Amino acid sequence: MTRQLSQQEIDAVFQSLQTQKGDESLAKKAVLFDFRRPDRIAKSQLRAIHLLHDNFVRNLVSSLSAYLRSYLIVNLVSVEQLSYAEFLECLPSPTCIVSLGLRPYDGNAVLELNSSLIFPILEMLLGGNGKASTAIQREITEIEQNLLDGLFRIILRDLKEAWKGVTTIDFTIESLETEPQFLQILAPSEAVVAIAVEIRIGESIGMMNIAMPSIIIKMMRQKFDQQWSVRKTESTDTEQIRILDLVRSSQVGINVSLDGPTLLLEDLMKLEDGDVLSFDYPVEKPLDLNINGKLKFRGQIAAIGRKLGFLIEESLGKPQESTVHSG
């Protein structure tokens, strides 16, 4: 048995379909949020840190090349934010990892150098060419740690110089470990900004990783804004009046020139008393008035009592009424 739907029933069906589509679109826009994830810093601040370490990498190339007396390549790979536990999981074992003091700020940063870089560098410091036949995977000794002091001083000096554009940080080595899990200077869930730098020395390639606590970088947010943000604002009427008052007492040079024909130096040297020069300059032709060497007005020579003046007839800037300037 067939049955025809009323217009009201048809509208109810379409409305139900639209409601279902709206619910599906809202579900697609929803993003799962993990409350265990650390709080994020602003993307603009992260970009500023990336630019800051670009400068650090460029300075480090020349510093390490001179120190090791060898050509090397240094590239900034990434700048990202993650938890301290995730940062430690990405590090090889064994390795060379140091805890850095950040005076005058409270807290510590981390600097790590892969073993694939440490042992070629040690060999070069001891007079070798740094081309090891096999990769060495062992912990460094106390003597080798002392040999690396000069290397770390150079790295921390360039790092301090790079951060000087934002704030002054005195990076100092507080402790050194060979196993990442032993350096528990931060809570596992605490957020850090991880900077990954690739270093290539001859045939050896390795990573240098730096971790800065996000909470300290957040404290510098205002300093980042002052250093990296470009603010374009229009001057107010008060500022314009203030600047005008400052320049009112400035002195400018005024010069009226009469453009005539040119004359050969040979002819000029032959001139004698009684000779007449023809300028071929019509009397009615206006003269140019220059202010500080720039053409601003045109007019005529005028008499003001016993003095000569200049009658402004045409303004080449803003239009104004004719004025007589004495000269």
**Pair 139, 179 in one domain:** yes
How many angstroms separate the CA atoms of 47 and 139, rounded?
A: 35
Please check the confidence at residue 22 and state whether its pLDDT lies above 70.
no
320 — pLDDT class (breaks 50, 70, 90): very low
Please, what's the largest Cα pairwise distance for the chain? Answer: 131
Q: How many domains does the chain have?
A: 2
Q: Are residues 213 and 286 in the same domain?
A: no
Whether residues 198 and 256 share a domain: the answer is no
163 and 305, same domain (yes or no): no
Distance of CA 169 to CAs 102, 108, 127, 209, Å? 6, 11, 34, 18
Residue-wise pLDDT for 240-250, tens only, equals 888 888 888 88
Q: What is the mean pLDDT of the chain?
A: 80
Residue 223 shares a structural domain with residue 261: no
Residue 18 included in any domain: no
Q: Tell me the C-alpha to C-alpha distance, in Å, between residue 21 and each of 16, 29, 30, 281, 297.
A: 9, 13, 14, 86, 72
Among 62-76, 122-136, 182-196, 262-276, which is the least confidently predicted range? 122-136
Q: Which two tokens stand for residue 20?
A: 């279902």
pLDDT value, residue 32: 60
Q: Which CATH number goes with the domain that contains 256?
A: 2.30.330.10
Segment 35-49, tens digit of pLDDT: 555 556 777 788 888
Kindly state whether residue 126 falls inside one of the protein's structural domains. yes
Q: In this predicted model, what pLDDT tens digit does every residue of 152-174 receive, in sequence order?
A: 999 999 999 988 888 888 999 99
What's residue 324's pLDDT? 47
CA-to-CA separations, 295 to 257, 263, 312, 314, 322, in angstroms, rounded? 10, 24, 12, 11, 16
**Same structural domain, 297 and 208:** no
Whether residue 279 has pLDDT greater than 80: no
Same domain, 158 and 290: no
The pTM score is 0.57
Q: In which domain, by residue range, is 320 found?
A: 252-269+279-326
Residue 186 pLDDT level (bands cut at 50, 70, 90): confident
DSSP state of 14: H
**Pair 214, 286 in one domain:** no
Nearest to 185, CA basis, from 174, 198, 193, 197: 174
Q: 265 and 205 share a domain?
A: no
Claim to verify: residue 148 and residue 284 sit in the same structural domain: no
- Same domain, yes or no: 190 and 260: no
- Using only C-alpha atoms, what is the Rg of the chain? 38
Please report the pLDDT score of residue 27 as a whole number.
Answer: 52
Q: What is the 3-state secondary structure (H, E, C) of 277-310?
A: CCCCCCCCCCEEEEECCEEEEEEEEEEECCEEEE
Position 239 in a domain = no
Query: How many C-beta atoms surround the C-beta of residue 80 within 10 A?
Result: 14
Give tens-digit pLDDT for 81-105. 888 889 988 888 888 899 999 888 8
